[in-house]
Structure 1
Amino acid sequence: MSKIKVLQLHPDYNIRKMDISDLGEQLFKALPAERFETVTAFLSGKPGQGQPESIAHRSVYFGFSAAELKGLRIKALWLLYKFLKEERFDVVICNRYKPVNMMLTLARFLKITKCIAIVHGFGDYDRRYRKKQLARNLTENWVFVGVSAAVREYLIALRAGLTDKNTSYITNAIDLAAARDLMLDKASARAALGLSPDAVLIGAMGRLVPLKAHDCLINAFSGLAHEFPRSQLAILGEGRERERLEQLIAELGLEGRVQLVGFKEDALQYLKAFDVWTMPSLREGLGLALLEGMCAGLPVIASSVPAMLPLVQGAEGIAVTPGSVEELTAALRKYLEMTDEERKQAGSKVLDYVLNNHGIDEFREKYLQLISTGF
């Protein structure tokens, strides 16, 4: 019996050295080698010296430029079509909008048993022409998978051909045992990040972009900084908002109290440095950074967006209205008023919740079933 041939298509090279929360890699770990032949392909980018490759049997790097992936994408579509026609995949899994969009165009001309679109957030199909293209090109061999129930509801509400029958969700997960083994203890993590060993440390992680609402978090912290002199705020991540956030920190007189730590490879290992974990995003598909902070056993504050609210409630954390500096301030105050031991107890409840509800085994099993059905 021949193996089921599976392609996973990504927009950019993004393989992590530690695949604990790299869900593309975790998905392939669900597929037994004796039953599946796996290929990972990236529309742009490739690993540099010392950077990892996918665990797939084979990796393909198309190397398309940004210009080639804009507009009609004629060259990129033609080369991708020739590759797909020659390889004859049984299953094609598309991560994020651009690969899904290209495959919706090409799949009509190819014999692919199953196309799976993984949708990581909201808004990809808000534009009218995108809805029309989706409705026009959607065929019976497509399945759309949201990373949360909220994303699934968003997709169905588009009324572009996505229904209960062809749209599901598989909640993001994390390899909890591996994550816990990777994490440094508090003192070592703080030393590695250059953070105070004695502070009550509030943490956040994510790209420095407006959607992540780090400015709201900094403003909320500014209202409490003098009242709680041991408190500090540190944000892991990099992005186009860095300069604006640095200006905000200076304007509020918070130099030395708020640190923009920057991007850190395998940042998960440093999360035990913190005493409180925050995720104030205005919108999220799920927010792996929230799960990673929960895995570190930290009490959590997160926006009450549909994708994160069940996690925060399940972990007995604090949910706040997106963009509300006032509610963020109140939530921070609640945790800062606690003793160190009380914060540890709150973090233990968070860890118990994530261990019981977001392990990697169920994630892998659901993808194995989805990909195997029909073969």
Structure 2
Amino acid sequence: MSKRIKVLQLQPDYNVKAHDFADLAEQIVKALPAERYEIVAAFLRGKPQQGEPVSRADRSVYFEFSDPQLKGLRLQAMWQLYRFCRAESFDVVICNRFKPVNMLLQLNRWLRVPLCIGISHGFGEYGRYYRRLQARSLIDRAWRFVGVSPAVKQYLLDCKCGFTQQNTVAITNAIDIAQAEGLQLPRDEARRLLGIDQQVRLLGTCGRLVPVKGHVYLLQAFARLKDIYPRATLAIIGRGREEPRLLAEVDRLGLQGRVHLLGFRADALQYIRAFDIWTMPSLAEGLGLALLEGMSGHLPVIASSVPAMLPLIQGAGGLAVPPGDVNALTSALADYLRLSDQELQERGERAYAYLCASHDIESFRQQYLRLVDESLAQLNRPS
């Protein structure tokens, strides 16, 4: 048996989930056949506690760096990562998000890993001049880059600092649809567990309560419609630093009893079918996996027309609104709220059909496998 290709997948934080339907790092592990690839998963921060899941990679490594160790020059962290990679002699390193990419860009001047792949999940990572200057000087033929949407790929190309059409691709995020649907509770049970009345028309979303998610605009838009549509109710699953502001806004707008901030829920996807309308009023997104999760529940979608999400909304037959535009969001909510239950269900089925056609996890896996295989073949080809 020939020696397996040795791959390091480097992530900033331990964040392995018991269900990996939307854990794209784990999906990349699944993409690489075990008979040909030996995979090590490494995490710069954090580690699992007793009983928590671990990566399905052949082996996991937890550096447990502190936040101060990963700021500034990061000399201690860089030295430890260098020694580790040098001892392991990896053939491929896959870096998730900016910090691991940045560290390997610097270290690979000495490590000479044959293939490095950097995955970008959003915008602004190369907004600072010194970061663009550094990337321009360090990106060489060993590097390939992935944007998680065509919009993120275009952002990288527009930075003009070493990202090119030859070394940069878009591999659109996806979810394991079958696994996601298998986790979802029936509508009545999901509502019972959330404490939501079975008779209301429920709209809302799931995600971190942070300003960039735009939840405050959703509350303001809903407040304009609450008296016109007395059966409508809004719910948000998630927690975060924005919660006090959102609670104050509920009081200010007189939305008590009509808005439910449900807090953190383990395996939140199981409650998707409690909703009738799925919303994502984000001010910015790299892709927005929560939008795909809503589609997996056969729900019609309303979301902000940020570049990464607009093609998804249009493909799903959803309603796109300018980010932060309360008037447009109010109008979109009203467009759906005035539909009959059957018409809403038809919109949801269209979204689900689009998800299956365009964001299937098997296609995602095949694209990563092809990227690794073809890049190694190119790099091994005589110049």
**In the TM superposition, what is the alpha-carbon distance from 1:206 to its structure 2 partner?**
1.6
Letter in 2 for 1:203: G
For the residue of structure 2 that corresponds to 1:117, the secondary structure is strand
Question: Which residue in the other structure is 1:148 paired with?
Answer: 149
**In the TM superposition, what is the alpha-carbon distance from 1:299 to its structure 2 partner?**
0.6
Question: Which residue in the other structure is 1:181 paired with?
Answer: 182
Answering whether residue 103 of structure 2 is matched by residue 94 of structure 1, we say no
Question: Which residue in the other structure is 1:35 paired with?
Answer: 36
Cα distance in 2 between the residues matched to 1:277 and 1:8: 33
Answering whether residue 17 of structure 2 is matched by residue 22 of structure 1, we say no
Letter in 2 for 1:12: D
Gaps of at least 5 residues in structure 2 are 378-383
For residues 290-318 of structure 1, what are the alpha-carbon distances to aligned partners after superposition, in whole Å with 9 as ceiling and x for unaligned? Answer: 00001111010011111111111111110
**In the TM superposition, what is the alpha-carbon distance from 1:164 to its structure 2 partner?**
0.3
Question: Which residue in the other structure is 1:111 paired with?
Answer: 112
Cα distance in 1 between the residues matched to 2:110 and 2:194: 51
For residues 19-69 of structure 1, what are the alpha-carbon distances to aligned partners after superposition, in whole Å with 9 as ceiling and x for unaligned? Answer: 011110011101111100001010000111221000000000000011111
Question: Which residue in the other structure is 1:71 paired with?
Answer: 72
Letter in 2 for 1:210: P
Question: Which residue in the other structure is 1:267 paired with?
Answer: 268
Aligned residue-pair number: 375
Cα distance in 2 between the residues matched to 1:189 and 1:38: 38
Runs (4 or more) in structure 1 with deviation over 3 Å come to none
> Taking every aligned residue pair, what percent have the same amino acid on both sides?
55
Letter in 2 for 1:212: K
Cα distance in 1 between the residues matched to 2:104 and 2:196: 46
Cα distance in 2 between the residues matched to 1:240 and 1:130: 29
Answering whether residue 238 of structure 2 is matched by residue 244 of structure 1, we say no
Cα distance in 2 between the residues matched to 1:15 and 1:6: 18
Question: Which residue in the other structure is 1:292 paired with?
Answer: 293
**In the TM superposition, what is the alpha-carbon distance from 1:128 to its structure 2 partner?**
1.1
**In the TM superposition, what is the alpha-carbon distance from 1:257 to its structure 2 partner?**
1.1
Letter in 2 for 1:318: L
Cα distance in 2 between the residues matched to 1:192 and 1:68: 42
For residues 228-255 of structure 1, what are the alpha-carbon distances to aligned partners after superposition, in whole Å with 9 as ceiling and x for unaligned? Answer: 1111111112111111111111111112
Answering whether residue 344 of structure 2 is matched by residue 343 of structure 1, we say yes
For residues 79-133 of structure 1, what are the alpha-carbon distances to aligned partners after superposition, in whole Å with 9 as ceiling and x for unaligned? Answer: 0000000001111011111111111111111020110000001111111111111
**In the TM superposition, what is the alpha-carbon distance from 1:265 to its structure 2 partner?**
2.2
For the residue of structure 2 that corresponds to 1:92, the secondary structure is strand
Question: Which residue in the other structure is 2:381 paired with?
Answer: none
Question: Which residue in the other structure is 1:127 paired with?
Answer: 128
Contact 1:204/1:278 (CA < 8 Å) preserved in 2? yes
Cα distance in 1 between the residues matched to 2:348 and 2:91: 44
Contact 1:10/1:96 (CA < 8 Å) preserved in 2? yes
**In the TM superposition, what is the alpha-carbon distance from 1:77 to its structure 2 partner?**
0.5
CA-atom RMSD, angstroms? 0.9
For the residue of structure 1 that corresponds to 2:245, the secondary structure is helix
Contact 1:201/1:276 (CA < 8 Å) preserved in 2? yes
Contact 1:16/1:266 (CA < 8 Å) preserved in 2? no
**In the TM superposition, what is the alpha-carbon distance from 1:266 to its structure 2 partner?**
1.9
Shifted more, 192-201 versus 73-82: the winner is: 192-201
**In the TM superposition, what is the alpha-carbon distance from 1:186 to its structure 2 partner?**
0.6
Gaps of at least 5 residues in structure 1 are none
**In the TM superposition, what is the alpha-carbon distance from 1:328 to its structure 2 partner?**
0.4
For residues 250-285 of structure 1, what are the alpha-carbon distances to aligned partners after superposition, in whole Å with 9 as ceiling and x for unaligned? Answer: 111112211111222221111011000001111111
Cα distance in 2 between the residues matched to 1:263 and 1:112: 41
Question: Which residue in the other structure is 1:302 paired with?
Answer: 303
Shifted more, 203-212 versus 358-367: the winner is: 203-212
Question: Which residue in the other structure is 2:9 paired with?
Answer: 8
Cα distance in 1 between the residues matched to 2:246 and 2:49: 30
**In the TM superposition, what is the alpha-carbon distance from 1:204 to its structure 2 partner?**
1.1
For the residue of structure 1 that corresponds to 2:332, the secondary structure is helix
Cα distance in 1 between the residues matched to 2:128 and 2:199: 49
Question: Which residue in the other structure is 1:218 paired with?
Answer: 219
Letter in 1 for 2:148: V
Question: Which residue in the other structure is 1:283 paired with?
Answer: 284
- Please, what TM-score do these two structures have when normalized by structure 1? 0.98
